[in-house]
Amino acid sequence: MRKIIIDTDPGIDDAAAIAIAMFSRELDVQLITTVAGNVSLDKTTRNALRLMSFWGADVPVAAGADRPLVGPVYDAAEAHGESGMEGFDFEEITVKPLKLHAVEAMRRVLLQSDEKITLVPIGPLTNIALLFSLYPEVKEKVEEIVLMGGAFTRGNITPLAEFNIFADPEAADMVFRSGLPIVMCGLELARSALITGEMVAKIRDLNPTGQMVYSLFEHYRGGNMQSGQRMYDSTAVCYLLAPELYTVQECYVGVEVASPLTRGTTVCDLEGFWNKQPNVKVCTAIDPQGFAGLFLRSLAGAQGVPENPTAATWLHQEK
Ligand code: RIB
Ligand code: CA
C-alpha cells in the first residue's frame, strides 16, 4: 500500500475523492489535514470530521491554515453550499481533530515514517508551503506530490486561474519551486471526465457512501446532474490508482503571483519556449470512460469501515 497524506478543503468533490482514497486497498491514508479553501477552515475541518465519523474511520484529522500566506481569503461556497458539504444530513461528529496544527502533524508523520509518503493536496497549497518553509528536512520523506490544481488552458475562477492556485498563489509558487516531483491534475481532466447523475445513481443504492455522495452531488454546482459533474479532486486520487488513464507531459510550470490580470495562473511551458528544467508532470488528458468506471467501482467498494492499517492514530497522544 502506498502511504499518503491528504490535504483538503471539503468540499463536495473533496468528499468523493477522500472516499475513494479511504476505501482503496492500494492507499494507506496516514493523516488528513484541512485548509481554508472552498469554505472557512472551521467548516472544512468540521466536514473532514463528519466524513471520518460517517465511516467510523480512525484516520486523524488536523486543522491547518485558516487563510492564504499573503492575499485575501476567497471561497467557493456558491459551488459547495454554505456548509461546504450541502445536501446530506450528517450524524453527530464522534471524532475530535488533533490538537496539533496540520503542519506539525505532517512533519511528525513524515519524519516518523519508515518509508516515503505521497502528499495529495486537493485544496489551496498553504499548508504544504508552510510545511516546506518551516521544516525543509521533511522533503526527503516525500515520495511525490500529486495535486489537484492549476490549468494549462483556461481557469475556473478567473479567465486563466484555477481556484486552488488562485486562493493562495504564493503558496503554490513555493510548492512548484520545491524541487520535489509534482503531478498536476488540472481543470482539463475533470472537464472531460464528467460524472453524470445517472452514473452516480447506480451507486446511490449500493451503500451508505453511495447515498451520501449522490445526495451531495445533487447540491454540487460543479456542473449538473444531466450533463455531468466535474469531480476535480477525484482526478488526483485516481491518478494514484490508475496512472495509465492519464496523458502526462513533463514541463516547466511557473505560478504567476504579481499580475492583476493573471494572478494564480499556472503557466505551463508545454512547448519548451523557455528551455527551463521541467518541474512538473502536467496531466494533459484522461480517458473519460476509464475514469468514470474507476470512480464508480471505487465508490461501489466503499463498504463497511475503511482500512488504513498504518494510519497515524498515535498522533492523538502527541502534544
Ligand atoms: O478548482 C477546483 C478545486 O477547487 C477543487 O479542489 C475544489 O474542491 C475546489 O477546492
Ligand atoms: Ca478541494
| 96: confidence class by pLDDT, cuts 50, 70, 90 | very high
Question: CA-CA distance, 179 to 3, in Å (whole number)?
Answer: 20
Residue that the C-alpha cell 470530521 belongs to: 49
In this structure, what are the phi and psi dihedrals at residue 193, rounded to the nearest 5 degrees?
-100, 65
Is residue 225 over pLDDT 90?
A: no
Pocket test for ligand 1, best of 189, 217, 232 (most atoms within 8 A of CB): 232
114 alpha carbon – ligand 1 mean position (Å): 31
Tell me the pLDDT band of 182, cut-offs 50, 70 and 90. very high
Give the pLDDT confidence score for residue 256 in this predicted structure.
98
Ligand 1 atom closest to the Cα of residue 38 is: 10
Q: What's the pLDDT score for residue 81?
A: 86
| pLDDT at 114 > cutoff 90 | yes
Least distant ligand from the CA of 38: 1
Ligand 1 atom closest to Cα of residue 11: 8
Instruction: Give the pLDDT band of residue 203 (cuts 50, 70, 90).
Output: confident
Look at residue 80 in the predicted model and tell me its pLDDT. 85
What spacing in Å lies between the alpha carbon of 230 and ligand 1's midpoint?
A: 10
Ligand number with the minimum distance to the CA of 12:
1
Dump pLDDT digits (tens) for 246-269: 999 999 999 999 999 999 999 999
Tell me the average pLDDT of the chain. 96
Please state at what angle helix 288-300 crosses helix 197-204, rounded to 10 degrees: 20
CB 175 within 8 A of CB 119: no
Which atom of ligand 1 is the closest one to the Cα of 12? 8
Ligand 1: residues within 6 Å at CB? 9, 11, 13-14, 37-38, 76, 122-123, 148, 156, 162-164, 232-233
Q: What pLDDT does residue 227 have?
A: 87
User: Hey, what amino acid is at 13?
Assistant: D
Q: Please give the pLDDT value at position 62.
A: 98
Q: Whose CA is nearest to atom 1 of ligand 1?
A: 163
Compute, in angstroms, the gap from residue 38 CA to the centroid of ligand 2: 7
Does the pLDDT of residue 38 top 90, yes or no? yes
pLDDT computed for residue 39 by the predictor: 97
> CA 63, CA 42: separation in Å to the nearest integer?
8
Around ion ligand 2, residues with a beta carbon closer than 5 Å are 9, 11, 14, 122-123, 233
Q: Which three cell numbers, joined as nine digits, stand for 178?
A: 520545491
pLDDT band at 119 (very low <50, low <70, confident <90, very high): very high
Give the pLDDT score at 78.
Answer: 85
- Strand pairing report for 280-286 and 246-255: antiparallel
Mean pLDDT of 54-71: 97
pLDDT at 222: 80
Strand order in the sheet with 246-255: 61-63, 27-34, 2-8, 117-121, 142-148, 182-185, 280-286, 246-255, 266-269
pLDDT: which is higher, 227 or 156: 156
d(CA 124, CA 67): 10
- In the chain, the percentage of residues whose pLDDT exceeds 90 is 90
Question: Closest Cα to atom 10, ligand 1: which residue?
Answer: 123
Distance of CA 65 to the CA centre of its chain: 15
3-state helix, strand, coil in the chain (%, to 5): 40, 20, 40
Give all domains of the chain, ordered by start, each with its CATH number. Answer: 2-313 (3.90.245.10)
pLDDT in tens, 281-315: 999 999 999 999 999 999 999 999 999 999 999 99
Please say if the pLDDT value at position 79 is more than 90.
Answer: no
Residue 221 pLDDT: 83
146 CA from centroid of ligand 2 (Å): 13
Ligand with minimal distance to 48 CA: 2
